[in-house]
Amino acid sequence: MSLLMRQATGRTTSIISFLALLIFLPLFILVVGQTITLLSRAAGTPANIVVDASSRLEPIKTDFYHAFAQGGEESTDMLASVATDIRTLQPKIIRIDHIYDLYQVVGRDGSGLTFDWSKLDAVVSTITSVGAKPVLALSYMPNVIAKDGSVINPPNDWNEWAQVVQRTIEHYSGRGSRNLNGLYYEVWNEPDLAQFGSWKLGGDKNYLTLYHYAAIGANNAANTNTFYLGGPATTGLYKNWILALVNSGNRVNFFSWHSYLSDPKQFTTDQHNLISWLVPFPTYTLLPKLITEFGFTGSKSTAYGSMYAAAHTAAVIRQLISGGPTYLTSFQLKDGPGQADGSGWGLITHDDNGLKKKPRYSVYRFIDEMAGTRLLVTGEGSWVTGFATNRDAVTRLMLTNFDQNGSHSEQVPIKFTNLAAGTYKLRQRFLLGRDTATTFEVTEQTLTTDVFMAAQSVAILELTKQP
Amino acid sequence: MTHVLYQTDGIIFRLDAKLRTVSSSIGEHSLLPTPQYSIIMGTGMKRIVIIVVSLILLLAIPASVFLTMKNQELRKKAAPATTLSLTPATITKAVNEEFTLEVHMNTADNQIVAVDLNISYDPTKLEAQWIHNGTMFPNILTSGVVGNGTASMALGAANTTTPITGTGTVATVKFKALAATTAPISIRFSSDTFVGALNEGSTNALTSSTPTTITIGSGTGTAPTATPTGTIIPTPTGILTPTLTPTPEASDSATSSAVTIDSPTKNESVTSEQPTIEGKAPAGTTVTITIYSDPITVTVTADANGNWSYTLAKPLVSGPHTVVVAATDPDTGQSHTATLAFVVATGSENGASGSAIPVSGSTENTIILLSLGTLFILAGSLIPHIRRSHT
């Protein structure tokens, strides 16, 4: 500084000082921000798990997360080439959208609308062949009835939209046709998103009008099995959309929305919010609730190809294992083309990329091992969460360490209480990892151990009393 | 002798009794021969018909009135009447001691579909460890969440065709005493606890709740043990007989320490669209007033004499309304709720009936309509007879 002051004019010194300030001030703010982030990350609570082995809560449901979606990546029967792998997932439902625009269902001739189900039928047949029921997102507007031919526009004649919906339901739920029972028909897909029309709750592109005429079509459908009509299939859970549907007076058989949330606990918050909105409407409170797409981000990400996605899925399932939705639908089954960098949402890579299974593919069946009656667990932490069950006299504890920021690991103390005296085998199985077993002698009702949970890991501890 | 029988579209029908013909501007028409006419419309037969019809009407009118009143009574029975209580109502614990509370519900005449349960406590004195469903509600709508001075859980019936009725345990909450208290503190239901019931619309069926009052002694209690005091085993029966401290029962009439609504009175028809609602509550308490069905929620403070009042800032629509008033006694921590139905009878579009319970008709209208119907039938039966007697 003294050199600068000796060899430069005051004006030059001021300019240099100003430039230095311009450069270093943003850097300083960045460093402060990073420090705060790191400090806040470290401020979480480590887990200290206690499992009451003698408690008995409710039987857990494992069906709800065996739900999958496939986006409109290609206008072919994308799932056919991975049917065997999908069947292994034991899916209960598989949701598809783009059913009208990708598969050219609706046409027009001199006498009115015509319907060609052949391409969509092929996709639906693949879905039923793997043991699942299709969930059909009634989207998008067939171009032959749409204003300006745009598939995200309203129709020129709303009655034609009602007719399209009626014929769709009669074709798949009709006793004289495909004869499928218990199908969900979801009105549109992400109507609030500009990409899919930016529908509002009023104005020219009113979702409630779209829904109203879909409901007319559904009510006109004749000779059908039981089916469900619902929505609004928005990009998130929005109170005004849910209550608008409730207050619309239209037929509503289920509520649906999408959840792309990196914080698993937000899924619990959403459930609480939804029930608090619906409880003043007793005839709607108990309707099925479907998260028809979920993930940690709606954007493409290479993390979908890593253990990050698997741990996130396990953490979300843990949050919803009690009091969860009817279905939690993972998006999506298979990558689209051109995603060789691994950024696709799929559980399985595209045909062009070898149809490889990503870590998330394995998490569903892994957690199925937890089927049983839920036990009392306390001491979950900010990163490590879990739940416990008992089935066939075996106590199981599922743990997942999911860190949104990607690096937290933890040595987790674990205590099983209220055990009968005797010898126990404790097996530790990690998703796509090690599988070890240790023998313990329990004399005072308690077994204490610990387990190292690496970042983004999922484990099941299995405690079996030896004869 | 001719009589004008009927006139329509410019055609006049006349009866010539002597010639037994009916003539009109478009021709002449023969009547039936006298013997046949007498057989069909014989005077004796006609009297019997009139007597039978009259007897039927005499029975039908009181029966209709009775059924209408019964229907209204049933509707009134479905008014909000559900209560929640935490048991035991009073406990004393030492620091570090753990204990469980049960949430009991009495549905009274309500048919409960779901309950959104929110319990609040002082987090500096207590820590909630978990909350689980009891035996009364089989359907867990949201998982139990504890922390930051709240314990929450939502529970439901299996479906709307089998709503929950009766009494039982909704949930169990486990606490740990953290610090000594200088005076008793309460664990209570938050104001956003909501009970949804069939036939109640969007009205909260919960009318009152009873908290637990706890005193935490300064001495250290039993150290936390890993061994819970009991197991939680749901039983299939829906009704549970509490064995703990008896729960104060909800009462229709507010006690001196409870909140009351003195004006308007029950089912009163008020002529103002912006009525003043008045009542009593413990002096100095904050009184939350909610007016349904388009919920309007305001808070007022009871004065030194325990009086509170609120005049609606915006007009209410003509028709039935329900006002729910809630206040928490600062001394006991006990929550009190009072519910009252009244009618705004200023407009004519809703045809206010004087009852806060929406009804599809009224006794008076039924009687008037039945009476008119009776008159028409009697007139229709008697007129031919009178005419014959004139011939």
Can you give the residue ranges of every domain in chain A? 2-39, 45-58+371-465, 63-368
Put simply, whether A57 touches B (Cβ < 8 Å) is: yes
CB contacts, 8 Å: B202 with chain A: 280-281
Per-residue pLDDT of chain B (391 residues; tens, 9 = 90+): 445 445 544 455 455 544 455 555 555 554 444 444 444 445 677 778 778 878 887 888 777 766 766 555 544 445 788 999 999 999 999 999 999 999 999 999 999 999 999 999 999 999 999 999 999 998 999 999 998 899 999 999 999 999 999 999 999 999 999 999 999 999 999 999 999 999 988 999 999 999 999 999 987 665 444 333 333 333 333 333 333 333 333 333 333 347 788 888 877 888 788 888 888 888 877 787 877 655 677 778 888 888 888 888 777 877 767 677 777 766 666 666 676 777 777 643 333 333 333 333 444 555 666 667 667 666 666 655 555 544 4
Q: List CB contacts of B155: < 8 A, sequence separation 6 or more.
A: B114, B115, B117, B133, B136, B137, B139, B140, B141, B170, B171
Q: pLDDT tens digit string along A339-356?
A: 988 899 999 999 999 999
Q: In the predicted model, is pLDDT for residue A20 greater than 90?
A: no
| Block residue for tokens 């028709």 | B319
Q: What is the mean pLDDT of chain A?
A: 94
Report how far residue B127's alpha carbon sits from residue B148's, in angstroms, rounded to the nearest whole number: 8
- A30: pLDDT confidence band, cut at 50, 70 and 90? confident
Closest partner residue to A322 among B140, B152, B232, by Cβ?
B140
Enclosing H/E stretch for A296: none
Read off the tokens for A93.
């439902």
How far does the CA of residue A420 sit from the closest CA of chain B (Å)?
12
* B21-24, strands of its sheet edge to edge: B2-8, B11-16, B21-24, B27-30
Put simply, whether A223 touches B (Cβ < 8 Å) is: no
Whether residue A233 contacts residue A191, with contact meaning beta carbons closer than 8 Å, is answered with: yes
The pLDDT of residue B228: 34
The letter for the amino acid at B121 is Y
CB contacts, 8 Å: A321 with chain B: 143
Q: Which residue of A has its CA nearest to B116?
A: A276
Put simply, the answer to whether A57 touches B232 (Cβ < 8 Å) is yes
Residues forming beta bridges with residue A414, ordered by sequence position? A49, A449
Put simply, whether A280 touches B (Cβ < 8 Å) is: yes
The letter for the amino acid at B23 is S
Report how far residue B295's alpha carbon sits from residue B289's, in angstroms, rounded to the nearest whole number: 10
Put simply, the answer to whether A285 touches B153 (Cβ < 8 Å) is no
Put simply, whether A45 touches B (Cβ < 8 Å) is: no
DSSP secondary structure code for residue A45 in this structure: P
Put simply, whether A56 touches B (Cβ < 8 Å) is: yes
Burial A415-424 (b: 16+ CB within 10 A, else e): bbbbbeeeeb
In chain A, how long is the greatest CA-to-CA distance?
Answer: 97
Report how far residue A53's alpha carbon sits from residue B9's, in angstroms, rounded to the nearest whole number: 91
Q: Which residue of A has its CA nearest to B112?
A: A282
- What are the domain boundaries of chain B? 1-31, 34-79+362-391, 80-250, 251-356
Read off the tokens for B124.
């500096």
The pLDDT of residue A130: 98
Put simply, the answer to whether A319 touches B196 (Cβ < 8 Å) is no
What percent of chain A shows pLDDT beyond 90?
A: 90
* CATH architecture type of domain B80-250: Sandwich (2.60)
How far does the CA of residue B140 sit from the closest CA of chain A (Å)?
5
Read off the tokens for A26.
């943003």
The fold for domain A63-368 equals TIM Barrel (3.20.20)
How far does the CA of residue B350 sit from the closest CA of chain A (Å)?
21
Closest partner residue to B145 among A56, A268, A276, by Cβ?
A268
The pLDDT of residue B364: 54
* C-alpha distances out from residue A251 to A20, A99, A440, B11, B159, Å: 65, 22, 58, 53, 17
Read off the tokens for B195.
């009970």
The pLDDT of residue B155: 97
The pLDDT of residue B241: 31
Report how far residue A53's alpha carbon sits from residue A446's, in angstroms, rounded to the nearest whole number: 9
Put simply, the answer to whether B194 touches A276 (Cβ < 8 Å) is yes
Q: Which residue of A has its CA nearest to B111?
A: A282
Put simply, the answer to whether B129 touches A280 (Cβ < 8 Å) is no
Put simply, the answer to whether A50 touches B227 (Cβ < 8 Å) is no
Test the A interface: residue of B142, B159, B192, B292 with most A CBs within 10 Å: B142
How far does the CA of residue B106 sit from the closest CA of chain A (Å)?
18
The pLDDT of residue B379: 67
CB contacts, 8 Å: A52 with chain B: 228
How far does the CA of residue B137 sit from the closest CA of chain A (Å)?
12
The pLDDT of residue B42: 57
More confident residue, A110 or B301: A110
Closest partner residue to B160 among A271, A286, A321, by Cβ?
A286
Report how far residue A261's alpha carbon sits from residue A236's, in angstroms, rounded to the nearest whole number: 9
Report how far residue B91's alpha carbon sits from residue B126's, in angstroms, rounded to the nearest whole number: 13
Put simply, whether A315 touches B (Cβ < 8 Å) is: no
Q: List CB contacts of A33: < 8 A, sequence separation 6 or more.
A: none
Put simply, whether A107 touches B (Cβ < 8 Å) is: no
Whether residue B365 contacts residue B296, with contact meaning beta carbons closer than 8 Å, is answered with: no
Q: Which residue of B has its CA nearest to A53?
A: B231
**ipTM over cut 0.85:** yes
DSSP secondary structure code for residue B316 in this structure: P
Put simply, the answer to whether A58 touches B140 (Cβ < 8 Å) is yes
The pLDDT of residue B219: 74
* Nearest Cα residue to B272 out of B317, B307, B309: B317
Number of Cβ within a 10 Å radius of residue B33: 9
Put simply, whether A283 touches B (Cβ < 8 Å) is: yes
The pLDDT of residue A331: 98
Report how far residue B141's alpha carbon sits from residue B115's, in angstroms, rounded to the nearest whole number: 9
* CATH architecture type of domain B251-356: Sandwich (2.60)
The pLDDT of residue B12: 53
The pLDDT of residue A72: 93
Closest partner residue to A281 among B115, B144, B202, by Cβ?
B202
* CATH architecture type of domain A45-58+371-465: Sandwich (2.60)
| Domain B80-250 matches domain B251-356 at the CATH topology level | yes
More confident residue, B379 or A451: A451
Report how far residue A102's alpha carbon sits from residue A74's, in angstroms, rounded to the nearest whole number: 8
More confident residue, B8 or A209: A209
Put simply, whether A266 touches B (Cβ < 8 Å) is: no
- A406: pLDDT confidence band, cut at 50, 70 and 90? confident
Report how far residue A199's alpha carbon sits from residue A245's, in angstroms, rounded to the nearest whole number: 14
CB contacts, 8 Å: A280 with chain B: 194, 196, 202-204
Whether residue B82 contacts residue B110, with contact meaning beta carbons closer than 8 Å, is answered with: yes
Test the B interface: residue of A266, A279, A287 with most B CBs within 10 Å: A279
Q: List CB contacts of A306: < 8 A, sequence separation 6 or more.
A: A358, A359, A456
User: In the structure, how many helices (H) and strands (E) does chain A have?
Assistant: 11, 19
Q: List CB contacts of A132: < 8 A, sequence separation 6 or more.
A: A68, A86, A91, A92, A93, A94
Put simply, the answer to whether B154 touches A275 (Cβ < 8 Å) is yes
Closest partner residue to A286 among B142, B156, B204, by Cβ?
B156
Read off the tokens for B228.
């819970």
How far does the CA of residue A270 sit from the closest CA of chain B (Å)?
10
Q: In the predicted model, is pLDDT for residue A407 greater than 80?
A: yes
Closest partner residue to B226 among A275, A320, A415, by Cβ?
A415
Test the A interface: residue of B131, B137, B141 with most A CBs within 10 Å: B141
Q: List CB contacts of A354: < 8 A, sequence separation 6 or more.
A: none
CB contacts, 8 Å: B115 with chain A: 279
**In B, what residues contact A, Cβ < 8 A?**
113-116, 129-130, 132-133, 139-145, 152-154, 156-157, 159-160, 192, 194, 196-198, 200, 202-204, 226-228, 231-234
Q: List CB contacts of B385: < 8 A, sequence separation 6 or more.
A: B41, B43, B46
Measure CA B327 to chain center: 21
Report how far residue A14's alpha carbon sits from residue A21's, in angstroms, rounded to the nearest whole number: 10
